[in-house]
Amino acid sequence: MWQWLVRLYHRLGSPKWFYEMTERWIFWLALAAGGSAIVGLVLGLLYAPADYQQGDSFRIIYIHVPAALLAQSAYMMMAVAGAVYLIWRMKMAAWVAKVIAPVGAAFCLIALLTGAIWGKPTWGTWWVWDARLTSMLMLLFLYFGVMALQQAMESEEASYKAGAILALVGLVNIPIIKYSVEWWNTLHQPATLKLTEKPSMHPDMLWPLLIMIVSTYLFFALVVILRTRNEILWHERKRQWVRKILES
Amino acid sequence: MHPQRKKRLHLILFLVLAVASAVGLAMYSLSQNINLFQTPTQIANGEVPPGRTIRAGGLVVEGSVERDQQGLGVTFRVTDGQSEVPVFYDGILPDLFREGQGIVALGEVNTEGLFVASEVLAKHDENYMPPEVQAALEQAHQDGKAQMEAAAKEASY
């Protein structure tokens, strides 16, 4: 098992292997992401019952929660890829980190905007400086900082290193976001989905949410793979195997 | 692992741990300021000086909401299970405001101990369910109560 993982790790470092391998995945990933998004949205928006207190406005959860989860997962992936680049100097890891940053930032922005739209009718305000909302805003700024650093310097390598270091420093924000609602008094409610307990949500409302979460992660995988392939083509454009692809 | 890579790995682990502990200590010492609201117990204990603008949070006590005959003024009490604080608010309440519901009010405690709010936000909990389920739960709760009362009556004979 360990041997296999090491071999996979070495292969992932090869742009050519990654490019050829993912060729076959794109279609199925797109199909799975699109299909599950349609199923999840139809179930969530049309078939799930309205909430006993919020009525229909709770349905924004089907966008808000997957986007917020993904924004945090993407950040962790970006930081790990950055660490791999700093330690092993693997070019692929740097490209993956660079490719993830804008996607994660977009999902973070979606989470913040949908949260504000939901907050107005539910809480009575668009925004409040509580620990959860503020730490999520910090995540967005961290994404912006990493994106800026990744392109800040003359040498590509130095920029990637700077971006990776900021990403690793910002990693401390992730547990703060997660536990903000437990450590401090916040306006934002505690998590509905818990890893160790039963979710505090009716099954008819829960299933569309779980489908939407899976769909969002699939979509993220698809986008990251597509963008990494572009990055590979650009950086390896002078290599023989890329020229062959471009000519055909 | 290559010694130089090992060194870099250790350096990164050290960086992450150092940042985490620094931020952790800062957060710990600032926790009073990070809290969005004070609880009624904190206010009742006099931890909040009168005249300073704060946020107070808690549950609206059942049966405590009194609306003014004229205007939008409303008085209610907020509890955290231990202490209660009377709140006065003159304005439009959010839709989710109701008795038994959590709220966060921005305002100040006046000299009589009344919390005069300039903004009231409704706090939502993490429970989501359809109205029928909520009605069934309510019904079951009341049936349970009635049964308990009946049992208590019988026992007292």
Q: Per the domain annotation, does B142 fall within a domain?
A: no
Q: What is the pLDDT of residue A70?
A: 97
Would you give the DSSP letter of residue A239?
S
Domain that holds residue B8: 1-32
Domain that holds residue A153: 24-54+62-191+200-247
Of A37-41, A234-238, B122-126, which range is least confident? B122-126
Q: What is the CATH number of the domain that holds B99?
A: 2.40.50.140
Q: Which residue has the higher pLDDT, A225 or B4?
A: A225
| A contacts of B27 (beta carbons < 8 Å) | 176, 183
Query: Of A130, A176, A202, which has the smallest distance from its Cβ to B133's Cβ?
Result: A202
Q: What percent of chain B has pLDDT over 90?
A: 21
Of A165-169, B34-38, B119-123, which range is least confident? B34-38
Q: Per the domain annotation, does A129 fall within a domain?
A: yes
Q: Per the domain annotation, does A5 fall within a domain?
A: no
pLDDT digits (tens, 9 = 90+) for A152-202: 998 999 999 999 999 999 999 999 999 998 888 888 988 888 877 788 888
Q: Per the domain annotation, does A68 fall within a domain?
A: yes
Strand partners, B78: B60, B85
Q: What is the pLDDT of residue B48?
A: 77
Cα A137 to Cα A71: distance, rounded to the nearest angstrom = 11
Of A13-17, A75-79, A229-233, which range is least confident? A13-17
Q: Say whether A176 and B130 touch across the interface (CB within 8 A).
A: no
List residues in chain B touching A: CB distance below 8 A: 5, 8-9, 12, 15-16, 19-20, 23-24, 27, 31, 34-39, 57, 93-96, 104, 119-134
CA distance A129 to chain B (A): 7
b (16+ CB within 10 A) / e for A52-83 = bbbeebbbbbbbbbbbbbbbbbbbebbbbbbb
Q: Has residue B157 got a pLDDT over 60?
A: no
> Which residue does chain A place closest to B39, by CA atoms?
A185
pLDDT digits (tens, 9 = 90+) for B128-154: 888 878 888 878 877 777 777 777 666
pTM of the model: 0.88
Q: Say whether A205 and B128 touch across the interface (CB within 8 A).
A: yes
Q: Per the domain annotation, does A6 fall within a domain?
A: no
> Which residue does chain B place closest to A84, by CA atoms?
B9
Q: What is the pLDDT of residue A212?
A: 96
Q: What is the ipTM of this complex?
A: 0.79
Q: Per the domain annotation, does A19 fall within a domain?
A: no
Mark the binding-site residues of B for heme, compressed into ranges: 124, 128
